[in-house]
Amino acid sequence: MKTRLRNLWESIRSSFWFIPSLMLLPAFIISVVLTFFDKHLNLSSHFVWEIFYTIDIGGARSVLSTIAGSMITVAGVTFSITIVALNLASSQFGPRLLRNFMQDRGTQFVLGTFISTFIYCILVLWSVNTSGAHAYTPGLSVAFGVVLALGNVCVLIFFIHHISTSIQADNVIAALSRDLEKHIHRIFTEEIERDAKKETEQNIEVKKETNKYAHVHHLTAVQSGYLQAIDCDNLLVIAKKNDLLLHFHHKAGDFIVYGCSIVSIRSDEKFDGDIGKEITRAFIVGPQRTPEQDAEYAIHQIVEVAVRSLSPGINDPYTAVTCIDQLGSALCFLSSRQFPSPYRFDDEKVLRIIAKQTDFKGMLNAAFDQIRQYGHKSVSVTIRLLETLLRITNQTRHSDQRQAIYRQAKMIQRMSLELLPEKNDKEDVLQRYEDVLKALNESERPDGEIAFPY
């Protein structure tokens, strides 16, 4: 249930309607309170408040109408500017980054401010009675409306500045980097303390747990789409209650096709179809990927910016180099973190779930493969890739991480020798490549023996 709520919240916070809708509530409350004071309290007779009541009823209605009309016009212009900015961001940085722009709290707040001011003025206008014994001058309400109008001028200036800076490449990459850092800190929380012997023993125990069940049943996907999240907590409860072992065939971020197997269920008794429906509901599928459980989602966003900057139409290697630096920083952090275990046990230490998890090699490939493929003609990008691999190598702790780095460095070296026409450029690339190999060998074999051949 918590997973579905988090997934729903992720969708809501990336919308333009949620915060503006929330801001309508205080506008309604303030309008009711101030009109109540104007109606029932004789504030105009007090010397402190009489300054607000120098206007008559007709003038008050005219001022409120002017403010309301201006605010709805400015709100329309703001929406138009926002759509233009989104279109520009989509064409320059990629359509998948629209989600990040729509999550921008500043833009949502600005839209909510203009709409709330318009609603406030309309509500005050609607409550004003201009005839009969109940006629009154809404001096306090009008004064507050004027204050809101002045405040909205400041908000409009902030919006123009904010929307202009938010689509700059460096700011976009910095925002994506902060998003990536937030997600990897949330998913990868524990430092590595790996014990090879312990892992071997654990794998043996897992095989014993897997083989002890008599029946195997495969559940298939009921719709095609991206696997956005898996409610593992709920599945753990179901598995324990019915004495099941669940083996996932996909991880969050994978695209699943209708009818494909998503989970294998092992049990001692015949499998109940109702339980299968409960298990299927725990797999949340949607039309796009989300960062809730998808560790590679934010990496792919930064990669998309880098790849687009390397296209012939844009040809901006500096943006690609900035993206590589940010990706290198994230991978340096990941090299010292424990990736989530695929094994989930209940409170009685019985294995209940075998999940499909990403690893360091998968994250490294996701970060560098496409940049290497599309940036092979740029010497500066190629050199920065190797320099970043060297930086990551100095942070690695285990052999499998260094094997993944060696694979990437070797592919960059081969591609450079084949495609770079200038001899000196090749020498620069080869020098960085040798630096990476030297660092890999020193980390793998401190005694000086070569583990990664040149």
- List the alpha helices (DSSP H) in 375-398: 379-393
Q: What 3-state DSSP class applies to 287?
A: coil
What confidence tens digit (pLDDT) does each residue in 208-258 have?
666 677 778 888 888 999 998 888 888 888 888 888 889 999 998 899 999
Closest-CA residue to 389 (of 373, 403, 374) = 403
| Residue range 277-288: mean pLDDT, rounded | 88
Residues 6+ apart with CB under 8 A from 412: 372, 382, 385, 386, 389, 429, 433
- Give just the sign of the alpha carbon dihedral 437, 441, 444, 450: positive
Residue 57 pLDDT greater than 90, yes or no: no
Identify whether the C-beta of residue 166 lies closer than 8 Å to the C-beta of residue 172.
yes
Q: Which fold has domain 196-286?
A: Aldehyde Oxidoreductase; domain 3 (3.90.1170)
Report the distance separating Cα 98 and Cα 402, nearest Å: 35
Q: What 3-state DSSP class applies to 417?
A: helix
Residue 199 pLDDT greater than 70, yes or no: no
Residue 193 pLDDT greater than 50, yes or no: no
Lowest mean pLDDT segment, chosen from 72-86, 235-249, 439-453: 439-453
* Both structure tokens of 15: 């919308």
Identify whether the C-beta of residue 140 lies closer than 8 Å to the C-beta of residue 59.
no
Tell me, what's the pLDDT at 53?
A: 53
Identify whether the C-beta of residue 242 lies closer than 8 Å to the C-beta of residue 306.
no
Q: What 3-state DSSP class applies to 245?
A: strand
Question: 168 pLDDT band (50/70/90 cuts)?
Answer: confident
For tokens 């919308």, name the residue: 15
What confidence tens digit (pLDDT) does each residue in 394-435 have?
988 888 889 999 999 999 998 888 888 888 888 999 999 999
Question: 68 pLDDT band (50/70/90 cuts)?
Answer: very high
Question: 6 pLDDT band (50/70/90 cuts)?
Answer: confident
Strand order in the sheet with 244-248: 215-220, 261-267, 244-248, 351-354, 343-345
Residues 6+ apart with CB under 8 A from 325: 384, 388
Report the distance separating Cα 121 and Cα 72, nearest Å: 11
Residue 132 pLDDT greater than 70, yes or no: no
pTM of the model: 0.81
